[in-house]
Chain A
Amino acid sequence: MKLSDVVIGVSMTMLAVLISYLMVYGGLGPIASYSLRPLATSFLNYTYNPWNAVYSALSPEAVTAIVWDFRGLDTYFETSVLFIAIVGLVALFRGAGIAQGISSRGLSIIVKTSTKIVAPLILVAGASLAFHGHLSPGGGFQGGSFMAVAMVLIAITFSIEFLHQKGLSLSTLLTIRCVGLLAIAVVSVYLLIKAMLLGGSAYIFQNMIRMNSSYSMPSWFIDRPLGGTLFFFNLSESIAVIGGLTLGAILLLLREEELRAVIGGEERE
């Protein structure tokens, strides 16, 4: 045991004791109280309120309404942070692409057969989560992450050269990501452009009728609530996430022969 390890251990123990002391005496606010904060009461009151529709988002799911309607700008910037990280990863490995001539056979036939059964099930489950995000727990990120896990599973058992032959190259995945972002941008300014063309006023990220504007996205679909922009945002976000996360994982899976010519150096055993 070196002296520096002991010193770090003792200071971490003091940190743990101080934070527990802080929490017991109410420094992080009341924990597990009997009443909610007023902001939370207001959000829960106005998430589905047809009697007060000027303030409401008309979707039964409170968390999705907060993420895409009441605090939609936070989510917009979080999506762009994920995009910037993917672009940074592409820039780190610039110049490297999937090589054409290397033929790789993937894993054994037992793994391939069980992946052929399991991967479509995971894809369908993820798509179902993305579709009903405004009615029950789910949404864009949840569905997109599930589908990205299935895509990376396919990329590992069959090889990444197989995916490249089937048409899923690095630039295709980046295009899918950009199409998702474009769909989010179009849905967010749709009511604003409609108001500019037809007269009246509207806001960016507007979902339902507000105080000064009478434009609204459809809030009911045949027999169940459709959350207006929430449904379209969930769909486009799932498309964007599946493109981005698959691209990131495939860039990290590239082989040494493809990268050596570009980056230099080599992997030493």
Chain B
Amino acid sequence: MPMNELLPAIMAFVTALVSIVATWLAVQEKDLLAAVLFSALQSTCYALIYYLLMAPDIVLVYLPVSVGILPLITVILVKKTERYEE
């Protein structure tokens, strides 16, 4: 099987597994600042999957919204409320 057809499949496989691990860690974590970082990691993996699914307009909206603005306002929220849940 030629490499240029196998490589997107391998990239999608690895990225999907990393996103599952990142989501599980984000939901389990007690330190809310670390949970925000795991959520940003999951958004980066999703942006790579959208690129492999041939949707470049979505990647250009998703990156500043989900890796830029949303973790920013969540970190402001964590700073102004409590850092550790419970």
Contacts and interface: CB of A to CB of B under 8 A. Distances in A.
A177 to B, nearest CB: 16
Contacts of B57: 63-64, 137-139, 142
Interface string B10-51: 000000000000000000000000000000000000000000
A149 B64 contact: yes
A129 B64 CA distance: 13
Contact of B73 (A137, A138, A146, A252): A252
A267 B73 CA distance: 17
Given A148-B69, A149-B68, A245-B69, A253 B76 contact: yes
Interface residues of B, number: 13
A145 B73 contact: no
Interface SS, A side:
helix
B72 interface: yes
Contact of A148 (B60, B64, B76): B64
A174 interface: no
A252 B76 contact: yes
A149 B72 CA distance: 10
A261 interface: no
B8 interface: no
B60 A142 contact: yes
A137 B56 contact: yes
B61 A145 contact: yes
Interface of B: 56-57, 60-61, 64-65, 68-69, 72-73, 76-77, 80
Complex A-B, nearest 6 residue pairs according to Cβ-Cβ distance, in ascending order: A145-B64, A142-B60, A137-B56, A149-B68, A63-B57, A149-B64
